[in-house]
Amino acid sequence: MSNFVNQTEILIMKSRFMVIIIIFSIFASYCNAENHKQTKQKKSTENMSFEIERTDEEWRTILSPEEYNVLRQKGTERPHTGEYNLHFKEGVYLCKGCGKELFLSDNKFESSCGWPSFFDIKDSTTIIEIPDTSHGMIRTEVVCAGCGGHLGHVFDDGPNPTGLRYCINSVSIDFKSKVKDNDGKK
């Protein structure tokens, strides 16, 4: 009987070990697939051509370190810290990298997500949407059609009429006012 118990315990231990190996293999395969997707995603704008083409060194001299991180390396600013998060003046929002007009103030809304949010783009030539599976999520990245700079992401939880929420980093955009000041300047 003792021999039978020992053999049963050994079988149970081997089975547990095999389950652990299988789980580890599945996890390793998933991580490898995610790394492949992230690498593919990072290269997704590399094969595209844009109106504004600059070398990495040129971008570094034109942009601040934070702007470079977001626009060129697909970084994200901390929520609730951006200059345009709670900014609601009348005008147009432009790409910080190339000056292309991207969003109208009429399409901006308070989403409480911590980043400037727009329910529509200025026109269909302003941005390019790219599937983004980085960080274990499925999202749609938004890049400037003029220079390929990373702006943020678009989600389908926005208000009518589009139902979209373009969640944009403040550091990736500038603002041009439509309202003239006392000196007659915009």
Cα 79 versus chain centre, distance? 13
Res 125 pLDDT > 70:
yes
Strand, coil or helix: 91:
strand
Cα dihedral: 8, 9, 10, 11 (round 10): 50
* Residue 109 φ/ψ, nearest 5 degrees: -145, 160
How confident is the model over 46-102, as pLDDT tens digits? 778 898 999 999 999 999 999 999 999 999 999 999 999 999 999 999 999 999 999
How confident is the model over 133-146, as pLDDT tens digits? 988 899 999 999 99
* Residue 176 φ/ψ, nearest 5 degrees: -120, 115
Q: What angle do CA 130, 135, 141 make, to 5 degrees?
A: 20
Res 128 pLDDT > 80:
yes
Res 151 pLDDT > 80:
yes
The reported pLDDT for the residue numbered 27 is: 56
Res 44 pLDDT > 70:
no
Contact, 115 vs 152, CB < 8 A? yes
The residue-averaged pLDDT of 114-130 equals: 96
Catalytic residues: 167
User: Which strand ranges, in their side-by-side order, compose the sheet holding 117-118?
Assistant: 108-109, 117-118, 165-168, 150-155, 139-144, 127-132
Cis amide leading into 161 (omega within 30): yes
Give the Cα separation of 159 and 71 in Å (integer): 26
Given 3-state DSSP classes, what are the helix, strand and coil percentages for the chain, each rounded to the nearest 5? 35, 20, 45
How confident is the model over 7-33, as pLDDT tens digits? 777 777 777 766 676 675 565 555 544
pLDDT band for position 38 (cuts 50, 70, 90): very low
